[in-house]
Amino acid sequence: MELDIGIKKNSRKKITDALKHFLADTYLLYLKTQSFHWNLVGPNFYSLHILLEKQYEDMAEAVDEIAERIRALGEFAPGTFAEFKNLSQLKEEKKYLKQNKMIEILTFDHEKIAKTTKSIIRDSQDEYDDVTADMLIKRITFHEKSAWMLRSSLEK
């Protein structure tokens, strides 16, 4: 049965292609945040440990929401580590880092996602896909707030 939700097929394809990259970025940042949460040591350990846990839990819910939106738009969502690594603009960390370096990297990644997602919102709005735009506005709000909180923890 043909999907008919008021968004043209080629428009849905353009939006879902962008959402696949957004999903990969979110998933990679989720994994990185969880890893840093597990391996964090240093001053302010407890407060940062709790903050990172809240952030990765939020992103765990978000990856499901993003993948389901891709499906609702008629495409299949990527779901393997290889696909996520290939689609993401973020890089994984392969070594243990000092606390401040972890926080700097997470701050940078949240800011990067927030910046690059704005164009997907515009594309979604141009194609009358308000559901995707609304979801992404909420996600940018999360990423900008997360970056602010992390950056603030680096201040002396």
Percent of the chain at pLDDT > 90 equals 88
Span 92-131, pLDDT tens digits = 888 889 999 999 999 999 999 999 999 999 999 999 999 9
pLDDT in tens, 69-102: 999 999 999 999 999 999 999 998 888 899 999 9
Nearest in space to 62 (alpha carbons), one of 14, 84, 29 = 29
Q: Give the Cα separation of 127 and 137 in Å (integer).
A: 16
Residues whose CB falls within 8 Å of the CB of residue 152, separated by 6 or more in sequence, listed in order = none
Residue 43 has pLDDT above 90, yes or no: no
Helix axes 45-72, 99-126, angle to 10 degrees: 20
46 neighbors 65 (Cβ within 8 angstroms) = no
Amino acid at 134: D
Give the pLDDT mean for 139-155.
96
Residue 155: predicted pLDDT? 83
The pLDDT value recorded for residue 94 is 81
Of 148, 33, 146, 151, residue with least CA distance to 97: 33
Give the chain's mean pLDDT. 95
Is the model's pLDDT at 156 over the cut of 80?
Answer: no
In the chain, domain spans: 9-153
- Residue 4, pLDDT > 90, answer no
30 token code pair: 């989720």
- In a 13 Å sphere around the CA of 149, the CA atoms on its Cβ side amount to 15
Q: What is the pLDDT of residue 3?
A: 84
Q: Which CATH number fits domain 9-153: 1.10.10.60, 1.20.1260.10, 3.40.630.30, 1.10.287.1080?
A: 1.20.1260.10
